[in-house]
Amino acid sequence: MDALVAQLQMQYRNYTVSLYQQGFLDDQFTELKKLQDDASPDFVAEVLSLFFEDCVKLIGNMARALDQTGTVDFSQVGASVHQLKGSSSSVGAKRVKGLCITFKEYCEANNYEGCVRCLQQVDIEFKALQTKLQDMFNLEKQIIQAGGKVPQVDIN
Amino acid sequence: MQQCSILSQLITDMNWALNNNPNPEEKEPKSSDLYHLGAIDLPEKPRKIEFWRSGLMGFAKMQLQQQHSVAVKMNNNGNNDRVGNNNKKGSTFIQEHRGLLPKGLILWTIFVGFISRGIYQWMDDTSKVRREEVLVSMCDQRARMLQDQFSVSVNHVHALAILVSTFHYHKNPSAIDQGTFAEYTARTAFERPLLSGVAYAEKVVNAEREMFERQHNWVIKTMDTGEPSPVRDEYAPVIFSQDSVSYLESLDMMSGEEDRENILRARETGKAVLTSPFRLLASHHLGVVLTFPVYKASLPKDPTVQERIAATAGYLGGAFDVESLVENLLGQLAGNQAIVVHVYDITNASDPLVMYGNQDEEGDTSLYHESKLDFGDPFRKHKMICRYLQKAPIPLNVLTTVPLFFAIGFLVGYILYSAGVHIVKVEDDFHEMQELKVRAEAADVAKSQFLATVSHEIRTPMNGILGMLAMLLDTELSSTQRDYAQTAQICGKALIALINEVLDCAKIEAGKLELESVPFDIRSILDDVLSLFSEESRNKGIELAVFVSDKVPEIVKGDSGRFRQIIINLVGNSVKFTEKGHIFVKVHLAEQSKDGAESKPALNGGVSEDMIVASKPSSYNTLSGYEAADGRNSWDSFKHLVSEEDLLSSSEFDASSSNVRLMVSIEDTGIGIPLAAQGRVFMPFMQADSSTSRTYGGTGIGLSISKCLVELMRGQISFVSRPRIGSTFWFTAVFERCDRCSLKKPTVENLPSAFRGMRAIVVDAKPVRAAVTRYHMKRLGISVDVMTSLRTAVSTVTASSGRNGSPLPSSGTTKLDMILVEKDSWISTEDIDSEIRQMNSRTNGNVHHKSPKLALFATNITNSEFDRAKSAGFADTVIMKPLRASMIGACLQQVLELRKTRQQHPEGSSPATLKSLLTGKKILVVDDNMVNRRVAAGALKKFGAEVVCAESGQVALGLLQIPHSFDACFMDIQMPQMDGFEATRQIRMMEKEAKEKTKLEWHLPILAMTADVIHATYEECLKSGMDGYVSKPFEEENLYKSVAKSFKANPISDSSCSQS
């Protein structure tokens, strides 16, 4: 049993580190994890689910806004991007955040092509992140089920 | 590295902007190029790029609105049409019709030409009229005279006729014969100068011919042939003749057709009758023959023609030389040459006969005058025609006047024209100048804004660069790499400092710099500044010291940052320009310096003797012994300050005024300022000379900023400088007295209180330096005795300890805790080491008394000196200058092995503290972003706070209706509809209203949550009434700092914060 736990823990550690290294996550995620304690054991999951819901909603908004034939309301897109940027930086979704910044530039420049491209990328990134994090949570769950403790991952 | 590239890109961009690009449109692609580049290359620094870009865009807009001055110049061509429009807007009549100016000139010239011509005409006419008048008068005169002369001659002939009638017919026998007649006429010829000769012909009818011929012995001959006359009814043979015409005798005058007519006419009319002109035989002059009838008997009154004929006895005739007559006459008159005179016989009007005048001599045909001549013969008509000999010359006055008039007229026209052209040009220039002025002003504003913006923009990446460099320096580097990195860091710091200065400058220029007013501790600020420069001064071997008069209140209210900035600037300059000697910062009350100077003689006696003795004549009584530019800081005046303090320190100083005016002087012994440059040191970007900046670097902006700051502090700045001797800068500044207020934040360098009541001996030959040392010791609570030589000190200590174990010379009650020796005093005292050792060992041996600890002050110390010091017994410590109370304290603690009473550090940034701050507090989190809201709430909850969330400014306002139970509010700035600033403003407004209504003061600490940590945002936060800001995403330390600041200052009900 312990071997399994150790293995899972190792896997979890490696996986988390790889997420950081691949730039999916940044320090803010660490901060977020720090906020999770016994008083709020599902804090991270809660925030992330909020984030993903937010993402889906915002991406939908943006897609709709960009789908408009004729005039595209870039300010509306921009507002959504800004929201997304704020959310992603809050949870430490580094890649999404980075994309949002680029996205915002395109919005301000009223660059339709760029916006569409960014929107697609954001969608891809966000889904990738969702998958990765889902994997991570699954790992966590497995560890807990195996009776182990989710290890603190020191990124540095 | 990437940031470096951005920076260089920006600088290129700036250059490009400054070097003008007339097309602002080109700006767009360029900045977005930059952005693309940044976005692709730097996905991990996106926020900065965004920020960056917005800055650039801002600048681009600025460029659009207000053309940069350089751009303006290059832009002139492109803007010409605009300039033209502007001109039309504010132009005058002349300007609008500039095209008409040349036409006007031409028209005017033509007009003047016409006028000139008119004048010419007029003058010409006038002169012609005058000429004609002259001609008329001359002609008439001549005619009259001619007539007169003629009639005189006729009268003479008439007289002769009467003579003949009287003496030939009335006398019987006749009294006249040919001889008598000839003689008489010859003798009276003078009376008839114009008659070539006179002759008398008798009327002889045919019947009497024979008798007559017999009587006279000749036959009557005809005039033409001289033959005896054929038979006629009547004859008129000449019987008497003047000698000159004697050839006429016996000629029948009636044989000539004309003569006959004449004769007939004469006897019919009884008057003198003239022939038509003919050439006289003798002179070939033109002449006429004058015939006069002689009657036999006296005629009845009004005789008829028949009676006349019947009474006719004969005829008297004479040839009239008209030509001579006229010639003669003309010769007598002036102006003879000017006119041509012709006399005509116009009896036959169609064929005038010339009586006088050369027909060829035409003269001026354009003008002539006719005068009637009456020669007394009613049958014959004569006239005189006068002409000018020459054509009328154009008069001189016309010749001069008209061209002159034309010239003047033309000149006037030209003057007006050029005046018009000049006016147009001047007004054009004026408009252009105005335009340029507006643009220059705009450019000036743009420059300041540009500087401010760009400086801001540069600061952000520079912070990144510096941070990265700091991190780089923490990694393992080879010495070369380290050197490079350090150099880069130093340069970066210098750049940041420069940018800050430029920002300050721009702010001051824009008048936006405002001083804050917070309580601060002058002494600790000065210590801070000193510590900044301690390294450099130590390396250079310069003494750096600070002295604050005791009268200066411990805590004053003012802008500590700016005060610090001024001092750093001045001290920095001093350090930069000083290679040897000292830099001495002295602070005292401005009133004090006056008092000191005035009371100088009175206080002289109060100074202890050995201090005066100590002053060596060879060196100056300054801090280091080098001469200083301003004598004020030398011991002579300084001692008054010190001694005065000793005397009066307890007496209260003028506490009535709420302000305190401080005078700070910074004295150095550096290179000084060249006299020529002294006038412009406070001008921005001016250094003493250009070589200065090469040698020492710097922009020369610092002093001008300092000056502005000092003036903002209601003070003055000035300096005394002597080249190669040094400079003393001093400034005054007014601060608020703040006797009761305590510092919000306890000074970081809280001075240890463990030394209170201790005694020390300071050995220093230089009184100023000793005073400085004493000042610092005093702050630590250590009372100090100054000894001028180490030997005295040693002997005193040894003696006293030998005597009664009490090391203090004067009072036996307190013990001597330490002896502090200035390195110079120690080095200069030979062979003292052993004594020190001895003293040390002796006192050390005494178990009951703690021996006084020995410490050495040194600006710099060599290894050998250090070894010697150790061996001499200064094992305890060497305190490196510059002296600071806290440092002395630390060193002495070490020496005295005092256990530092552990200061409760209030700012331990442990979560526990944060927890203690936040536990139980009700906090409102306002953020439109659900995720952010949740994270913030989570973070705050973790520290024990009770969190309420609001997703918009409006909701927050609803929740914050007074009264409410919130202790704090975290506010997102960027929110749709109502942003954080606006929400805060409304909250503050509500609080204000509540205060007015309920007299209860409400002040909810509002902290902004923002991702931008730039200064501008922060300023905006404060402006809209926020208390602080936390950067998103939350970091514990950051959060703590902000929260602690506003929570501690505001124990909820207490609102000392003045902003709202």
Inspect the interface and report whether the beta carbons of A105 and B1032 lie closer than 8 Å: no
Element (H, E) at B825: helix B823-828
Chain B residue numbers touching A31 (CB-CB < 8 A): 939, 1033-1036
Write out pLDDT tens, residues A72-123.
778 888 888 888 888 888 888 888 888 888 888 888 888 888 888 888 888 8
Chain B residue numbers touching A46 (CB-CB < 8 A): 934
How far apart are alpha carbons B666 and B571 in whole angstroms? Answer: 7
Chains A, B: CB pairs < 8 Å: 88
Q: Dihedral, CA atoms, B1041, B1045, B1048, B1053, nearest 10 degrees?
A: -130
Residue with tokens 């890649």: A95
Contact between B523 and B554 under an 8 Å Cβ cutoff? The reply is yes
A1 CA: distance to closest CA in chain B (Å): 33
Contact between B765 and B773 under an 8 Å Cβ cutoff? The reply is no
Contact between B276 and B382 under an 8 Å Cβ cutoff? The reply is no
B974: nearest CB among A39, A46, A82: A82
Q: Dihedral, CA atoms, B34, B39, B45, B47, nearest 10 degrees?
A: 80
How does strand B922-926 pair with strand B968-972?
Answer: parallel
Q: Which residue of A has its CA nearest to B936?
A: A90
B541: region left, alpha or beta (phi > 0 left; psi from -120 to 50 alpha)? left
Q: Provide the token pair at B371.
A: 């005068």
Q: Which residue of B has its CA nearest to A27?
A: B1033
A53 CA: distance to closest CA in chain B (Å): 10
Inspect the interface and report whether the beta carbons of B929 and A32 lie closer than 8 Å: no
Best mutation target among A35, A96, A100, A115 (most B Cβ atoms within 10 Å) is: A35
Inspect the interface and report whether the beta carbons of B938 and A47 lie closer than 8 Å: yes
Q: Which of B382, B325, B389, B371 is nearest to B140 (CA)?
A: B371
Q: Provide the token pair at A47.
A: 């925030």
B57 CA: distance to closest CA in chain A (Å): 11
pLDDT of residue B792: 76
Residue with tokens 């500087």: B451
Chain B residue numbers touching A97 (CB-CB < 8 A): 46
Q: How many CB atoms lie within 10 A of CB B257?
A: 10
Inspect the interface and report whether the beta carbons of B46 and A54 lie closer than 8 Å: no
How does strand B195-202 pair with strand B204-205?
Answer: unpaired
Chain B residue numbers touching A101 (CB-CB < 8 A): 39, 46-47, 49-50
Using CB atoms within 10 A of its CB, is residue B422 exposed (0-12), middle (13-18) or buried (19+)? exposed
How far apart are alpha carbons A127 and B749 in whole angstroms? Answer: 53
Write out pLDDT tens, residues B188-226.
888 877 777 888 888 888 888 888 888 888 888 887 777
How far apart are alpha carbons B489 and B150 in whole angstroms? Answer: 136
How far apart are alpha carbons B576 and B208 in whole angstroms? Answer: 163
B335: region left, alpha or beta (phi > 0 left; psi from -120 to 50 alpha)? left
Q: Provide the token pair at A132.
A: 């990765």
A72 CA: distance to closest CA in chain B (Å): 19
How far apart are alpha carbons B315 and B263 in whole angstroms? Answer: 7
Size (chain A), residues: 156
Chain B residue numbers touching A126 (CB-CB < 8 A): none
How far apart are alpha carbons B588 and B547 in whole angstroms? Answer: 8
pLDDT of residue B598: 37
Inspect the interface and report whether the beta carbons of B44 and A23 lie closer than 8 Å: yes
Chain A residue numbers touching B50 (CB-CB < 8 A): 101, 104-105
In a 13 Å sphere around the CA of B901, the CA atoms on its Cβ side amount to 6
Beta strands in B659-714 (DSSP E): 659-668
Q: Give B65-81 as a DSSP string.
A: HS--HHHHHHHTTTTHH
Inspect the interface and report whether the beta carbons of B1034 and A31 lie closer than 8 Å: yes
How far apart are alpha carbons B943 and B921 in whole angstroms? Answer: 10
Inspect the interface and report whether the beta carbons of A90 and B46 lie closer than 8 Å: no
A90: nearest CB among B50, B53, B932: B932
B935: nearest CB among A32, A83, A102: A32
Write out pLDDT tens, residues B342-379.
888 887 777 777 877 776 666 667 778 888 888 777 77
3-state secondary structure of A28: helix
B891 CA: distance to closest CA in chain A (Å): 38
Q: Provide the token pair at A64.
A: 């709709």
pLDDT of residue B68: 40
A47: nearest CB among B934, B1011, B1034: B934
A50: nearest CB among B931, B976, B1033: B931
Inspect the interface and report whether the beta carbons of A87 and B929 lie closer than 8 Å: yes
* Phi, psi of B1031, rounded to the nearest 5 degrees: -85, 140
Q: Which residues of chain B have pLDDT under 50?
A: 17-89, 595-618, 646-654, 745-749, 803-813, 844-849, 899-911, 1049-1060
Binding-site residues on chain A for chain B (CB distance < 8 A)? 23, 28, 31-32, 35-37, 39-40, 43, 46-47, 50-51, 53-54, 79, 82-83, 86-87, 89-92, 94-95, 97-102, 104-105, 109
In a 13 Å sphere around the CA of B96, the CA atoms on its Cβ side amount to 6
Best mutation target among B927, B929, B1012 (most A Cβ atoms within 10 Å) is: B929
B971 CA: distance to closest CA in chain A (Å): 14
pLDDT of residue B110: 92
How does strand B555-558 pair with strand B518-521?
Answer: antiparallel
Binding-site residues on chain B for chain A (CB distance < 8 A)? 32, 35, 39, 43-44, 46-47, 49-50, 53, 927-932, 934-936, 938-939, 941-942, 972, 974, 976, 1011, 1032-1036
A56 CA: distance to closest CA in chain B (Å): 13
Inspect the interface and report whether the beta carbons of B930 and A50 lie closer than 8 Å: yes
pLDDT of residue B288: 81
Helices and strands (DSSP H and E) totals, chain B: 34, 29
> Which residues are paired to B200 by β-bridges?
B240, B316
B46: nearest CB among A53, A86, A102: A102
Chain A residue numbers touching B1036 (CB-CB < 8 A): 31
How far apart are alpha carbons B632 and B547 in whole angstroms? Answer: 14
List, in order, residues 6 or more apart from B151 with CB less than 8 Å away.
B375, B376
List, in order, residues 6 or more apart from B670 with CB less than 8 Å away.
B574, B576, B577, B578, B579, B581, B726, B727
Best mutation target among A105, A125, A126, A129 (most B Cβ atoms within 10 Å) is: A105
Beta strands in B542-624 (DSSP E): 543-548, 555-558, 582-589
Chain A residue numbers touching B972 (CB-CB < 8 A): 86
A29 CA: distance to closest CA in chain B (Å): 10
Contact between A146 and A8 under an 8 Å Cβ cutoff? The reply is yes
Q: Which residue of A has its CA nearest to B1032?
A: A90
Residue type, B2: Q
Write out pLDDT tens, residues B553-583.
888 888 888 888 888 888 888 888 888 888 8
Inspect the interface and report whether the beta carbons of A47 and B931 lie closer than 8 Å: yes
Chain A residue numbers touching B941 (CB-CB < 8 A): 39-40
Q: Provide the token pair at A55.
A: 């993402």
B39: nearest CB among A31, A35, A105: A105
B724: region left, alpha or beta (phi > 0 left; psi from -120 to 50 alpha)? left
A83: nearest CB among B44, B929, B1033: B929
How far apart are alpha carbons B464 and B457 in whole angstroms? Answer: 12
